[in-house]
């Protein structure tokens, strides 16, 4: 087996998170958008002074303010588009949320429950689902409020609520239709209606997911951290060679320590397995990668029982460090630490285990982590999830892999 080497790429500057590291790699942030005041000043400089003065005196300068406002919105859209093209700045997709009101004009149908999962939406079919039940009593007309969430991520789901015009006319909110009405009893009251009063917010386009799809990178795993996902996109699919897989794995481990190691071994490599007194390598019927029982070397990532595919080169082995405590919320019964600094994991950038006491206050000193009886190391889980996704992305078709954790207790 080749000796594991430290990552070839330089680690990020001390104290930098993955996000900051990636943003630095993106050559800094995109230019910020310009506001309305900036574009109004630009119009003042570009137009003849007597023209601007005339508009100001006659009350027509609002036209220039309007042009400046529209241009500022375009500038904001361009800035967002620029950010969406950079892995360090693109945003994960978020679904908009808000509140709608159900009501009815008559209670002749009696008691009925509008079930969670009912689909409501706008006239152009931007759809939202309810998150809880709405109960109408036998004489209730409503309105009753219920939280809803968009069915898809995107800015376009940040819909408008009710608002007044300059003529004091009420413009209704954009949600006006029920597309799938789930009721108990079934078809209990088809006359129920819906509307929204306040605007919705929180919707963000799936920019980071789109960058991943463009690069052929698998979607974000449920347990994968956002920064691990960004690193996986940044490393990308640059081939199916052991070297490319090693570079991608080292990038994922680099966040926590430059000393964490990751290497790839081809199972068919003759140096991968040998036997102490087995037949001579190369002799008939003795592939050098076969398992032998009397290998004198210490236990390690070699001398493993391979499948037929592995012995024939259809498998590779990913060898990596067993991760120490990074953000470990496990409850330790016999932890000897008695000061905040003693919970830190040596050799890592901020790795820490939880403080294990039964009567801890809600807010711990020194940035200590809370422990819980069923706690896990969320950061380590995220790194491993990112490694698994990366290996699935980079392996060649028909090639399998296995993993070995060095130093696992």
Average pLDDT over residues 115-133: 95
181 in the Ramachandran plot: left (φ > 0), alpha (ψ -120 to 50) or beta? beta
More confident residue, 70 or 298: 70
- The predicted model gives 199-226 an average pLDDT of 84
Higher-scoring residue by pLDDT: 162, 289: 162
Instruction: Find all residues with CB under 8 Å of 37, minimum gap 6, and list them.
Output: 68
Both tokens of 179, joined, read 């597309």
The alpha helices in 123-224, defined as continuous H runs, are 207-214
Of 398 and 134, the one with more pLDDT: 134
Tokens coding 303: 């001398």
pLDDT at 268: 65
pLDDT at 258 over 80: no
Most confident of 2-6, 28-32, 64-68, 246-250: 64-68
20 membership: H or E segment, kind and range: helix 18-25
Average model confidence (pLDDT) for the chain? 77
User: What does the pLDDT average to over 202-208?
Assistant: 91
pLDDT of 318 > 80? The answer is: yes
pLDDT at 237 over 60: no
DSSP labels, 47-107: S-HHHHHHHHHHT-THHHHHHHHHHHHHHHHHHHHHHHTSTTTPPPPB--EEEEEEE-S--
Quick one: average pLDDT of 290-303?
Answer: 54
| Per-residue confidence (pLDDT) for residue 269, from 0 to 100 | 63
Residue range 293-301: mean pLDDT, rounded: 54
CB 354 within 8 Å of CB 369: yes
Largest pairwise CA distance in the chain? 102
Name the nearest CA neighbour of 178 among 119, 136, 225: 119
pLDDT of residue 11: 35
- Tell me what percent of the residues of the chain surpass a pLDDT of 90: 27
> In DSSP terms, which residues pair with 145 in a beta bridge?
101
Beta-carbon-side half-sphere exposure of residue 43 (alpha carbons within 13 Å): 23
The full DSSP string for 306-353 is --HHHHTT-EEEEEEEPP--SEE-B--TT----SGGGGB-TTSSS-EE
Of residues 114 and 86, which shows the higher confidence score? Answer: 114
Q: Quick one: pLDDT band at residue 304, thresholds 50, 70, 90?
A: low
3-state class of 266 per DSSP? Answer: strand
Tokens of 118: 């009912």
- Greater pLDDT, 296 or 158: 158
Closest CA to 122 of 148, 84, 143: 148
Stretch 383-409: mean pLDDT = 78
Q: How far apart are CA 216 and CA 151, in angstroms?
A: 24
Question: Where does residue 366 fall: left (phi above 0), alpha (psi -120 to 50 degrees), or beta otherwise?
Answer: left
Q: With 80 as the cut, is the pLDDT of residue 300 above it?
A: no
Provide the b/e sequence for 246-277 (b: ≥16 CB within 10 Å).
bbbbbbbbbbbbbebbbbbbbbbbeebbbbee
Give pLDDT tens digits for 140-196: 998 999 999 999 999 999 999 988 887 888 888 999 999 999 999 998 999 999 999
Query: Does the structure show a pLDDT above 70 at 138?
Result: yes
């Amino acid at each position: 087996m080749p000796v594991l080497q430290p990552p070839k790429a330089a680690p990020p500057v001390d104290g930098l998170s993955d996000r900051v590291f990636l943003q630095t790699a993106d050559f800094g942030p995109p230019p910020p958008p310009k506001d309305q005041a900036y574009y109004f000043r630009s119009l003042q400089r570009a137009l003849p002074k007597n023209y601007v003065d005339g508009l100001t005196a006659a009350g027509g300068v609002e036209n220039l303010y309007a042009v400046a406002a529209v241009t500022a919105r375009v500038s904001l859209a361009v800035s967002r588009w620029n950010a969406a093209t950079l892995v360090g700045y693109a945003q994960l997709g978020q679904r908009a949320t808000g509140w709608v009101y159900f009501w009815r004009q008559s209670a002749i149908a009696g008691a009925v429950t509008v079930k969670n999962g009912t689909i409501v939406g706008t006239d152009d079919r931007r759809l939202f689902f309810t998150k809880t039940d709405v109960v109408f009593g036998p004489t209730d007309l409503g309105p009753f409020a219920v939280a809803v969430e968009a069915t898809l991520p995107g800015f376009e789901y940040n819909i408008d609520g009710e608002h007044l015009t300059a003529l004091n006319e009420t413009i209704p909110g954009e949600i006006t239709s029920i597309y799938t009405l789930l009721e108990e009893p079934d078809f209990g009251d088809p006359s129920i209606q819906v509307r929204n009063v306040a605007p919705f917010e929180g919707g963000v386009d799936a920019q980071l997911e789109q960058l991943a799809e463009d690069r052929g990178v698998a979607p974000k795993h449920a347990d994968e951290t956002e920064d691990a996902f960004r690193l996986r996109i940044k490393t990308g699919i640059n081939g199916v060679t052991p070297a490319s897989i090693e570079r991608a794995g080292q990038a994922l481990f680099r966040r926590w320590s430059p000393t964490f190691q990751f290497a790839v071994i081809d199972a068919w490599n003759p140096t991968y397995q040998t036997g102490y007194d087995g037949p001579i390598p190369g002799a008939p019927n003795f592939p050098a990668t076969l398992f032998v029982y009397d290998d004198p070397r210490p236990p390690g990532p070699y001398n493993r029982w391979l499948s037929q595919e592995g012995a024939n080169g259809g498998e590779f082995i990913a060898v990596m460090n067993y991760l120490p405590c990074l953000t470990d919320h496990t409850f330790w019964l016999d932890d000897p630490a008695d000061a905040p600094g003693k919970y830190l994991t040596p050799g890592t950038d901020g790795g820490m285990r939880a403080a294990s006491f039964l009567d801890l206050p809600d807010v711990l000193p020194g940035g200590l982590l809370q422990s819980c009886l069923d706690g896990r190391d969320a950061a380590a889980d995220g790194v491993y999830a990112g490694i698994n996704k990366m290996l699935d992305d980079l392996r060649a078709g028909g090639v399998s892999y296995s993993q070995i954790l060095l130093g696992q207790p």
